[in-house]
Amino acid sequence: MSSSYLPATTESLVLANEAASPTEAISILYRVLDDPSSSPDALRMKEQAITLLTKHLTEENRGEDLRSLLTQLRPFFSLIPKAKTAKIVRGIIDSVAKIPGTSDLQIALCKEMVQWTRAEKRTFLRQRVEARLAALLMENKEYSEALTLLSGLVKEVRRLDDKLLLVDIDLLESKLHFSLRNLPKAKAALTAARTAANAIYVPPAQQGAIDLQSGILHAEEKDYKTAYSYFFEAFESFNALDDPKAVFSLKYMLLCKIMVNQADDVGGIISSKAGLQYLGPDLDAMKAVADAHSKRSLRLFEIALRDYKAQLEEDPIVHRHLSSLYDTLLEQNLCRLIEPFSRVEIAHIAELIELPVDHVERKLSQMILDKKFAGTLDQGAGCLVIFDDPKTDAIYPATLETISNIGKVVDSLYVRSAKIMA
């Protein structure tokens, strides 16, 4: 920053806009902020300068400078209304989030702002920054710290009855419990979010986020038809806003179609007007999985998992369901291959199914233990021995039923004799 300041006027902002380079514009805007004047016009010009400076620093990926800017602006915040302060602070935090690889910086920035807002008794802003901090901690997989922060925050916000923030916090709590695999609490938090949302007007983006989380929880319970309808609602909300989350909603819609054995519908959804807008690796990945599922081909399935690792393996929701689908597909293929045999080499089965021998042997042993078929592994000979399905002998159930009926007759006779003797 330069020691000489520029007056906080329209001319100074025009000078910054006409600067030859972003670095020069940033220098001019810093000098505008150094203007000691606190007249209403000067304050208004400084607000515009902050917006421009934030934009330039974000474009230049200068996250640390944005952090120091927030510290530098603290005396200025005492001169403007609290609502405007909240808007500027949240805007700068959002700008830091746009710079890649700044998750640790965002967490540190939020913690600093929480301390400052607590000292300044700015409750409204503190609660929102704490909610943002909890979301960042969850993304950073620091679940216990995020949960501790949220549990205290949700009680405070419920007491103040701030419904809009309460929806955000309950939704975040639901996502957090889902990440910790605590489905009952995740569902309870989502229900609380829906209850709060029903009492107020909820922005479409927030409603889309609620629908997306509802779909994820229903899919986890294997209720894929209901999940599909929620994902569709979320997709429509995000699509109308051109939100990047729309592609994830569409991806999960296609996943639901595959999981209910309607993989043939995937191509139609992708080639629809809405689907064509989001063509890319995510939809290509789901199409490859759908093709593998339609052809019942494990080889194509594994090729899809390898070629689209980022879209399938690294997405925890898709990965969880595809693991279940892969196991089902593998079991169906193995049962079909071993059906004609009474004794067969494991290596031959592995060759037919185009998978490693140890992988096939491990799966066959699991299927025998799960009683998917009757058989045993002869590991010395490297063979699978399949037994005929034991025929149930009808005489045993019939005998048990006869004994049961005789027991009823004896009980009835005992009751009658007791009445006669009485």
- Taking only the tens place, the pLDDT of each residue in 274-305 is 888 888 888 899 999 989 888 878 888 888 88
pLDDT in the model for residue 352:
84
pLDDT bin (cut points 50, 70, 90) of residue 188 is very high
Cα distances (Å, whole numbers) of residue 157 to 160, 192, 221, 411: 5, 13, 30, 66
**Residue whose C-alpha is closest to residue 311's, from 270, 280, 284, 282:** 282
Q: Of 168-172, 372-376, 391-395, where does mean pLDDT reach its minimum?
A: 391-395
**Rounded distance between C-alpha atoms, residue 396 and residue 380, angstroms:** 37
pLDDT at 187 over 80: yes
| Band (108; pLDDT cuts 50, 70, 90) | very high
Nearest CA to 29 out of 64, 62, 57 is that of: 57
At residue 172 the predicted structure's pLDDT band, cuts being 50, 70 and 90, is: very high
Please check whether residue 220 is in contact with residue 175, taking contact to mean a CB–CB distance below 8 angstroms. Answer: no
pLDDT reading at 173 higher than 90: yes
Give the pLDDT confidence score for residue 392 in this predicted structure: 67
Which is more confident, 333 or 75?
A: 75
What is the Cα–Cα distance from 102 to 82, expressed in whole angstroms? 27
The pLDDT value recorded for residue 9 is: 87
Exposure b/e, 213-222, CB count within 10 A at least 16 = b: bbbbbbbbee
Rounded to an integer, what distance in angstroms lies between the CA atom of residue 155 and that of residue 293? 47
Q: Has this prediction a pTM greater than 0.75?
A: yes
Per-residue 3-state assignment (H helix, E strand, C coil) for 303-371 = HHHHHCHHHHCCCHHHHHHHHHHHHHHHHHHHHHHHCCCCEEEHHHHHHHHCCCHHHHHHHHHHHHHCC
Coil, strand or helix at 390:
coil
| DSSP assigned state of 221 | T
